[in-house]
Structure formats: C-alpha cells, structure tokens
A and B are shown apart, each in its own frame.
Chain A
Amino acid sequence: MRTYSGHSTPAASNALYRKNLARGQTGLSVAFDLPTQTGYDADHVLAQGEVGRTGVPVCHLGDMRALFDGLDLGEMNTSMTINATAVWLFALYAACAEEQGSALSALRGTTQNDIIKEYLSRGTYVFPPAPSLRLTADLILFTVEHAPDFNPINICSYHLQEAGATAEQEVAYALTTAIAVLDTVRARGVEGPQLTRVFGRLSFFVNSGIRFVEEVCKLRAFAALWDRLGKERYGIEDARSRRFRYGVQVNSLGLTEAQPENNIARIVLEMLGVTLSKDARARAIQLPAWNEALGLPRPWDQQLSLRAQQILALETDLLEYPDIFEGSTVIGQKTAAIAERAWAEVEGILSHGGAVAAVENGTIKEALVAENAARIARIERGEQTIVGVNQFTESAESPLTEGGGAESILRLDPAAEAEQRERLEAFKKARDEAAVARAIDALTRAAQGSDNMVPVSIAAARAGVTTGEWGKALRGVFGEFRAPTGIGGAATPDLGSSYEPVRKKVAALAQSLGRRPKFLIGKPGLDGHSNGAEQIALRARDAGFEVVYEGIRNAPEAIAHAAAQEAVHVVGLSILSGSHMALVADTMAALKRLGAGRVPVVVGGIIPDADVRALKEAGVAAVYTPKDFQIANILDDLVGVVRQANA
C-alpha cells in the first residue's frame, strides 16, 4: 500500500515520505519531476516551470541524500517511476545507499524502466529505441547479478489503457514489450538459469478501469498468457518464475472534473477488479486521488485513497477465501476470449517485426489514438454514460469544492524551482571538476562501446555528475528521438452529421479569411501526455481546419517560431503538468517577439479555476478543461475566436 508522491524539493518530499510511512504506508513510490525523467537539470531551458511540478527534482547525489535523509535504504522498499533515465536514478540510489552503509544486495524496490510505453503514451523517452533497450537490458542484467531482490523493470500496460487501449490491446502490447526486452537480453548471451532469473524478475504495472468484471478476466488472461510465453518462447521450466507478478494503479482516464467526489466511488470499484480474484490479485495497489482532474492532490486526498485500500484489506472478508471465481463459466469464457484476441494481436505484431518496429512505424500508436477517438465519440453521443458528465449533470452545491475549488488542491511553493537551481549551483561549486570530467568521459566511452552502463553510472554519481550531464553525454552518443504522433494514420470514427454545423461554420470562415483557418496545436514543456492534443487535432481536421501538430515536448520559443512561419490563425497549447502559467506566458512573449503577437492563444489542460481567470487576464482567448468533453463545442468556439481576431 503506497501512494505515488513527491514534489517541490527533495527535502519537502522527504518530509512527505516520513509522514506517509507513519500513516501506515508500507513502501515508497517516488514521483520524479519531468526534467529528471528526461535527463535535464533544473537550470536547463526546457526545465523552466517544470521543476518540482509532477514530482521531486533529483539533479545529483546531494538531492538523493536529502530525499532519503533518515530513511534506511537497506530496509526500505522503494518504487521509482523512472524510464529513459532509469539507469541513472538507480545509480544515484545505489550510491546513496552505499554511503549509508547498505550493500547493493540489500536493495529492494523497483525501477519502472519500460521505455516502449513512453513512446506510445507517457512521453518521457529520450533516446531512440535501440540504445534505450540496451539501457533497459543493462539495468536488468546488473541487478539480477548484484541486487537480486530489486525489480529492475515494471512493464506498464497502465499507460496504454490511459491512451485508449482496450483490454485485449493492453495485454497484447505489454506482452510484446516484454518480448522485446527479453529478446534483447537473450541476444546478449543470457540463457539457462540466468534467463530464468531475469524472467522471474519481470513484473507488470497494470491499469484497472471501471468495467471491473472485464478487468478480473483481463488479469486472469494476462497471467495465463505470461505463463505460456515463459514456457513456450523462453523455455522457463520453473513454474514459480513464470508467475505473473503485477502492481496496479487504477484508472485516471475516467476520473472526472465535474462532480469530482464521484471519483471516490469509481476508485473503489476499480480496485475490486484487481483484488477479487485471488489467482490474479495485485501485489501492490496505488490509488489516484479523487481530485486528480482538478490539480495536484493534497496529503489529505492521498490519505483518503490509502484508507480505501486499508478498509478493503482489513475490514472486509475478501482475504479469507481462495479464488472465488474458480469454476465460473462466465468468467472462464470471458477470460478465454480476451486471451485469444490478445494472443492473436501479439502474433500480428511479432510478424511485423515486434514492438520496436511498431513504435518506429507508428502502428500501435495509431491504433491507440483511433481507439481513444472512438471512446470520446461514444461519450459525446451519450452511448457511454459518464455520471455527472453526460448524464445526471445537475448537482447540489459541493462543500468539497467551495469557492471554485481553489482550496481543494495542493498549491506548490513558487520559490521551490529557484531554490533547486541554487542548490544545483552550490553542489557544482563544491565538487571536484577534474573527477567529474573524467567520469563524463567514461560515460561517453561506455555508451560508444558495449559495456554495461550501470557501473560507470554509479561511479559518475559518486563523482558528482548531474542528471543533465549524464543525459547530455548519452544524447551525444545515442542521439535524440521523436516518436510518431500517430494522428496521421489513425482512423477516426464516423461523426455522421453531427459535425455538419461546425463544418459549415469553418467553411464560411475560410471564405472570409481567404484560406482555410490554420490551427497550431503545441505541447510546450516536458509533459508527454498527448491524448487531448491528439484528439483535438483529429477533430479539428474533421471539422475542416488545417492543423499543424508537432508532437510533444517543444520549447515555447519553438512553438511560437512554428506558428509564425506557418502563419496560423490560432495557437492552442495543451498542458497537463501544472506548468501552464509560465509556459503560456513564455509562448505569448515569443509570439510577440516574432511579430505574431496578434495571433490568439487558447489553452487546454488540467487548469484550476483561479488559473483560468489569471490566464484570461493575461490575454489568453479561451481555456478548456476536462469538463469541456464535447469537442465540437470547443471547435465552434475556436471559429469565434479566429473570427474575432480577424475582424
């Protein structure tokens, strides 16, 4: 039982961890900020406004020491949500434990280390697939040998469901990811008992949605297919090593901004899907907070989620029984059906070159974007009910979100970013520059060769190398990757005649402008959550806009530059990391510098009401949040925005 947490600074996060442990949490789940996840220091231009936002910033060994101050890493079980830079954060963790006097072999915990789903959904990838998978394998091989109780990889189907995957797709894409990793490991000569150990260390991070009966079946199917894969493809004889081990975070995609208290019921029901069946019960569960769609949860909100788990485990009789679905024909048939379709999908992907090829050519991404588009269309048409959103929308005044809800979310200390930069500067001043230069040189040479990157990274951590320096050295060798956006080839649902009114308006606007209205959708900053941007892009195209979409992670300056060269009529910025105030201001200033200050800017994302007002005062033409679920209405509104700007 744990909550995913960390924010502002290492010291503030340390205080939070101590409090959570005192409340009965049994391990730590560290959330890193986006610069740390993408290999930048707090003083990098792309890190501006992002430091300490979605998690804790860790720039160097000093930050790691502060983060775990007073916590014994030899005793702790620490889960780290870290992927592209997993080798580096593990190295800092190991170096910190070593200073505390703990042996590597005593370390327990998990690094997420699943790069494939980063390309498909979460967006914190850095390097191209091949060197990324090498780093994945490096960490697996190192820990299997030196830190045998550590889980070096946690393959995430979670984020695939968040990006729109069906149950079958979620299982299939996660399994092809595991195959890509295991094949990489095997190609490095790992076989026999060592391959069995590696297979046994692989664990999964699964999503659980509101259709919880289907979720029960999905997990039973997942476990069966994993067992089969181990036996058939990798010849794993030991049944224990083939056991499907997984943790869960229940679904965030379905949490609503409207009537947010309803999310408590959703979260509890979603938890049932992964706990009811003993044969497929999660080892660890993380629950989101009821107010995630509003902003950052406070400690109290997280406590509520922890209590829900404690009630299920300790008050109910659930844990007293063996598997309660044993012999159920309904569950048996549904499980078999999911397994069959998922396996067919796995075979299809393998026959086209596997997960890496599917990432590079965009086929999986396109399938996810299309599935999500279909889901949104069902909600818009009212075929899929979301209580409080498209049905039962009337509500009594909520005491939880009084005064627009400004007090019902966590507010971060705006000084934290500057403090983090100062600490970085101070840390750099105190270190031995010659040793740092040698360590970076060693990193570069190891990256160019084929040695395991973990030992050389641990040495660099000890020498005082920073996260940004590690990232820069490896970027220099491996290069930087931009994943396909998936929108070009994604099939869109038939919108029927529902888009005719907005199409007519767009066509009329095109007449008066002299060319089709051109709409640039930008994702400034490091936030990789692109669902919203992708869906708006597709629908805007279907409404008749010309849409320029550049994918995730662009600097405000680059977005403004594109908007100016493309001579767009409106710029839309999609931001879900909470960094909207700084990023929007920077983009607007850059537009002005480039002579495009008259182009209207609209913003979409998880934006608290108070910030909506502030953004509008700063000149933003419109702000859209998750409660604006009818995309046609947003596009209709955009026509008005463009018309007004060109009047």
Chain B
Amino acid sequence: MSASGARSTAQLVEGVVHQDLPSVAQALSLVEDTRPEARSQAVELTAACHALSRGSGHRIGVTGPPGVGKSSLLNRLVQAYRAGGQSVGVLAIDPSSPRSGGALLGDRARMMIDADDPHVFVRSMASGGQLGGLSRAAGAAVDVLSAGYDVVFVETTGVGQSETDVEHVTDSVVLVIQPASGDVLQFIKSGIVEIPDLFVVNKADLGAVASRAVSELKAALRIADRGHDPNAVLSVSAADGAGVDGLVAALRAHREGLQAGGQLLRRRCEKTAQWALRLLERDSWQRRLSDLGGTTAVLARLQAAADAGQSAIEAVSAIAAD
C-alpha cells in the first residue's frame, strides 16, 4: 500500500465490520498482496476477521460448468437475500490465463449490482497459480467478507480443482447445471457427487428438457447412494426467477440443519484444517521448486530429459533423487 489511504489493521477491521466500501476494498487487496512487507498485516487482518465470523453467517459456494447461468442465478440470489434484509458479499473467481498470468474477470457483466445499496459487495478475483484451484487469497477473502456481511457467496467455474477447493471455504455448495447439455452425464462421470449439498438445474423455463434433467439427476444420486436427500435437487430459472425462493429456503434449511445438529462450527473447523493443508501443500511445492532453482530452471531440466527420450516418471525420479 502506498502511504496515503493506508489504514491500520484495527481500522481495516473496524471498516469491514461496518461495511465501509473503501475499507473492504483495501482489506481484500491486502490479502492478495504478495509483498513480504504486506504479508504480516494480511495474516493479522485475516485472523481478526476469522475470529469475528467464526460461528456466524452463511458461506455459500456456487459452482458449475461455464455458460450454465451461474452469474444470472447469483444475481437472483443476491436480490432474494437482500429482500430478506441480509447483507451480501460476493467473491467471483475466474480462471487465470496460463499463458500470461492475466485474467478476464467478467462476472459483474451479468449481475445487476445496485450501486446505491451499501449492503452488497462484489469482488472479482483471479484463480491464480497453475492448478486452477482457488488462490491463497480466496480463503482469506472469504474470512474478510464474512466479517462484514451476513451471507457470502463464492462463485467458481467448475473446472478442475476449484470445484473441490470451494468446499473448504464454504458451508454449503450449490452445483448449477443446465438441461440438455450433457452436464448430467459429465457430472455422473466426474465422481464429484460428494461435494455439492444442493443440485440446481437452471433454465427451468425450457420446460420438458429441464424436468427430464431433474429426474436424471435424482436417479444418478440414488445410484451413487451417498446419502443425498432427493429434495437436494432443485429446478430454477434465473431468467424469470422461478424456483429461486425455493433455493433460498433450501440453503437456509441446510445451514439451520448444520446449526441445530451442532455441526456448523465442527464442519468449519474441519474445513479450515483441510484448506490449511491445501495451502501447506502448495507452499511446500513452491518451496521445493525454488530449492530446485525455480520453475523455469526445473522445466528446462525436464525438457532436456524429455528430449533425451525419458518418460515423465523417469525425469521426475531423477529430480527427486537430488
């Protein structure tokens, strides 16, 4: 942070709790900041925010393949929660370009955000890294937003790692798919059936194809037999809003179920540990890479090995023996 406009950790926390826009924006930038001098303040800030929201609020992951209408549905969900008087934070994650490290953060385009409503905060973030999962900053950003807002959504495009990562930073995960797209089949094959708590077939306005997708999905869940409630499959239309109230009710019921069973905090702690493990894995991986001379150097070695006719496993075991 440059000198002017920088706030102390206490000021930032105070600002976040009061949904002060510049404070929330700056806090989220701080958790993204990779400079060593920013890291200790970021840890301090995240710790304070984490403590503030430990047993409260509702963190909801919204995931699914590209083009199924997640942003439009999210738009409806934000409106529904606002109508119920709850404040809402949104973290919209888009993939980083592996080629340039840049990213197109396009989700705001499909959302109609009311600039006059101080109780909604939407932040876009690039997934970063090579693995396609959530960035280190994403988990911290959820903590920051949870300290300021009643309900926090994390939207990810369900490709690769982000689908499983989002589970670690949220209480409820909603998988959104669309009818007649092969999504149901993909979903059954992908084996991620354990992760979502709710399954939403969007575009109910399409009629028969949508209801067919719902029954296929229910059948798939029965076969998978992972203890999913058949009521966990819902049909909505982000286009006309049909079914959105039902989805909100189901989300609330899911959270209340966790709370009543005393599992909310337990689950959060377990998830925090899982997320920490994930971060640790990455850290160790990064450290190992840098011990070996950094990505470019390692890649050069691997390339040389490949050019010499070695298989990937051979090349890696040679490096591991170092």
Contact partner of B25 among A480, A488, A545, A566, CB < 8 A?
A566
Query: Are A546 and B105 closer than 8 Å at their CB atoms?
Result: yes
Please report which residues of chain A, range 525-575, place their CB below 8 angstroms from some CB of chain B when the two chains form the complex: 537-538, 540-551, 555, 557-558, 560-562, 564-567
Please report which residues of chain B, range 87-126, place their CB below 8 angstroms from some CB of chain A when the two chains form the complex: 97, 99-106, 108-110, 112-113, 115, 121-124, 126
Beta-carbon contacts of A422-449 to B below 8 Å, as 1s and 0s? 0000000000000000000000000000
| Residues from chain A with Cβ under 8 Å of B124 in the complex | 546, 548, 566
Query: Are B121 and A565 closer than 8 Å at their CB atoms?
Result: yes
B28 within 8 A of A: yes
A254 within 8 A of B: no
A507 within 8 A of B: yes
A94 to B294, CA, bound (A): 73
Query: Are B102 and A361 closer than 8 Å at their CB atoms?
Result: no
**B2 CB, min distance to chain A CBs, angstroms:** 6
A128 within 8 A of B: yes
Please report which residues of chain A, range 570-614, place their CB below 8 angstroms from some CB of chain B when the two chains form the complex: 594-596, 598
A506 within 8 A of B: yes
B32 within 8 A of A: yes
Query: Are B67 and A361 closer than 8 Å at their CB atoms?
Result: yes
Query: Are A541 and B29 closer than 8 Å at their CB atoms?
Result: no
Given known contacts A362-B67, A548-B105, A549-B104, A564 and B34 CB-to-CB distance under 8 angstroms? no
Query: Are B29 and A515 closer than 8 Å at their CB atoms?
Result: yes
| Residues from chain A with Cβ under 8 Å of B121 in the complex | 565
| Residues from chain B with Cβ under 8 Å of A510 in the complex | 101
Please report which residues of chain B, range 14-56, place their CB below 8 angstroms from some CB of chain A when the two chains form the complex: 21-22, 24-26, 28-29, 32-35, 38
Beta-carbon contacts of A98-109 to B below 8 Å, as 1s and 0s? 000000000000
**B319 CB, min distance to chain A CBs, angstroms:** 26
B66 within 8 A of A: yes
| Residues from chain B with Cβ under 8 Å of A538 in the complex | 104
A382 within 8 A of B: no
Contact partner of A565 among B25, B33, B99, CB < 8 A?
B25
A566 to B24, CA, bound (A): 10
Contact partner of B109 among A482, A514, A543, A646, CB < 8 A?
A482
| Residues from chain A with Cβ under 8 Å of B104 in the complex | 487-488, 537-538, 541, 547, 549
Please report which residues of chain A, range 228-265, place their CB below 8 angstroms from some CB of chain B when the two chains form the complex: none
B239 within 8 A of A: yes
Query: Are B66 and A489 closer than 8 Å at their CB atoms?
Result: yes
| Residues from chain A with Cβ under 8 Å of B109 in the complex | 482, 484-485, 549-551
Query: Are A514 and B22 closer than 8 Å at their CB atoms?
Result: no
| Residues from chain B with Cβ under 8 Å of A567 in the complex | 25-26, 28-29
**A119 CB, min distance to chain B CBs, angstroms:** 13
Query: Are B106 and A487 closer than 8 Å at their CB atoms?
Result: yes
Given known contacts A482-B112, A515-B32, A646-B2, A565 and B123 CB-to-CB distance under 8 angstroms? yes
| Residues from chain B with Cβ under 8 Å of A545 in the complex | 102
A334 within 8 A of B: no
| Residues from chain B with Cβ under 8 Å of A549 in the complex | 104-106, 109
Q: What residue in chain B is nearest A594 (Cβ atoms)?
A: B21
| Residues from chain A with Cβ under 8 Å of B2 in the complex | 646
Query: Are A543 and B102 closer than 8 Å at their CB atoms?
Result: yes
B262 within 8 A of A: no
A499 within 8 A of B: yes
Query: Are A544 and B21 closer than 8 Å at their CB atoms?
Result: no
A298 within 8 A of B: no
| Residues from chain B with Cβ under 8 Å of A484 in the complex | 109-110
A546 to B125, CA, bound (A): 8
Q: What residue in chain B is nearest A569 (Cβ atoms)?
A: B29
Q: What residue in chain B is nearest A538 (Cβ atoms)?
A: B104
Query: Are A541 and B102 closer than 8 Å at their CB atoms?
Result: yes
B5 within 8 A of A: yes
Interface of A is mostly: loop
Q: What residue in chain B is nearest A482 (Cβ atoms)?
A: B110
Given known contacts A488-B66, A488-B106, A567-B25, A557 and B115 CB-to-CB distance under 8 angstroms? yes
**B82 CB, min distance to chain A CBs, angstroms:** 16
Query: Are B67 and A516 closer than 8 Å at their CB atoms?
Result: no
| Residues from chain A with Cβ under 8 Å of B35 in the complex | 514
Contact partner of A541 among B103, B239, B240, CB < 8 A?
B103
A2 within 8 A of B: no
A503 within 8 A of B: yes
Please report which residues of chain A, range 498-529, place their CB below 8 angstroms from some CB of chain B when the two chains form the complex: 499, 503, 506-507, 510, 514-516
Query: Are A564 and B22 closer than 8 Å at their CB atoms?
Result: yes
**B176 CB, min distance to chain A CBs, angstroms:** 15
| Residues from chain A with Cβ under 8 Å of B22 in the complex | 564, 594-596
Query: Are A544 and B102 closer than 8 Å at their CB atoms?
Result: yes
| Residues from chain A with Cβ under 8 Å of B21 in the complex | 564-565, 594-595
A560 to B5, CA, bound (A): 17
Query: Are A565 and B122 closer than 8 Å at their CB atoms?
Result: yes
A120 to B270, CA, bound (A): 47
Query: Are B34 and A515 closer than 8 Å at their CB atoms?
Result: yes
A591 to B201, CA, bound (A): 39
A547 to B121, CA, bound (A): 18
Query: Are B33 and A514 closer than 8 Å at their CB atoms?
Result: yes
Please report which residues of chain A, range 114-157, place their CB below 8 angstroms from some CB of chain B when the two chains form the complex: 128
Q: What residue in chain A is nearest B28 (Cβ atoms)?
A: A567
Contact partner of B101 among A362, A507, A565, A596, CB < 8 A?
A507
Q: What residue in chain B is nearest A510 (Cβ atoms)?
A: B101
**B58 CB, min distance to chain A CBs, angstroms:** 21
**B45 CB, min distance to chain A CBs, angstroms:** 14
Query: Are B108 and A516 closer than 8 Å at their CB atoms?
Result: no
Contact partner of A562 among B29, B100, B102, B108, CB < 8 A?
B108
A4 to B191, CA, bound (A): 59
Query: Are A542 and B113 closer than 8 Å at their CB atoms?
Result: no
A561 to B165, CA, bound (A): 29
| Residues from chain A with Cβ under 8 Å of B25 in the complex | 564-567
A566 to B126, CA, bound (A): 12
**B285 CB, min distance to chain A CBs, angstroms:** 21
Query: Are B115 and A543 closer than 8 Å at their CB atoms?
Result: no
Given known contacts A489-B66, A514-B35, A550-B108, A506 and B5 CB-to-CB distance under 8 angstroms? no
A255 to B35, CA, bound (A): 47
**B295 CB, min distance to chain A CBs, angstroms:** 13
**B166 CB, min distance to chain A CBs, angstroms:** 19
Q: Which of B2, B34, B103, B106 has the most CB of A within 10 A?
A: B106
A565 to B124, CA, bound (A): 9
Query: Are B106 and A562 closer than 8 Å at their CB atoms?
Result: no
Please report which residues of chain B, range 121-139, place their CB below 8 angstroms from some CB of chain A when the two chains form the complex: 121-124, 126
Q: What residue in chain A is nearest B109 (Cβ atoms)?
A: A551
Q: Which of B29, B115, B122 has the most CB of A within 10 A?
A: B115
A537 to B113, CA, bound (A): 21
| Residues from chain A with Cβ under 8 Å of B99 in the complex | 542
Contact partner of B100 among A487, A544, A565, CB < 8 A?
A544
Given known contacts A485-B106, A550-B109, A565-B122, A516 and B101 CB-to-CB distance under 8 angstroms? yes
12 A-B pairs besides A507-B101, A542-B99, A547-B102 with CB distance below 8 A are: A487-B106, A514-B32, A514-B34, A514-B35, A516-B102, A543-B102, A547-B105, A548-B108, A549-B104, A549-B105, A558-B113, A562-B113
Contacts A/B (CB < 8 Å), 26 sampled: A362-B67, A480-B112, A484-B110, A485-B109, A488-B104, A506-B100, A538-B104, A541-B100, A541-B104, A542-B97, A543-B100, A547-B104, A547-B105, A550-B108, A550-B109, A555-B115, A562-B108, A562-B113, A562-B122, A565-B21, A566-B25, A567-B28, A594-B21, A595-B22, A596-B22, A646-B2
Instruction: Give the top 5 A-B pairs by smallest Cβ distance, nearest first.
Output: A514-B33, A561-B115, A514-B35, A551-B109, A595-B22
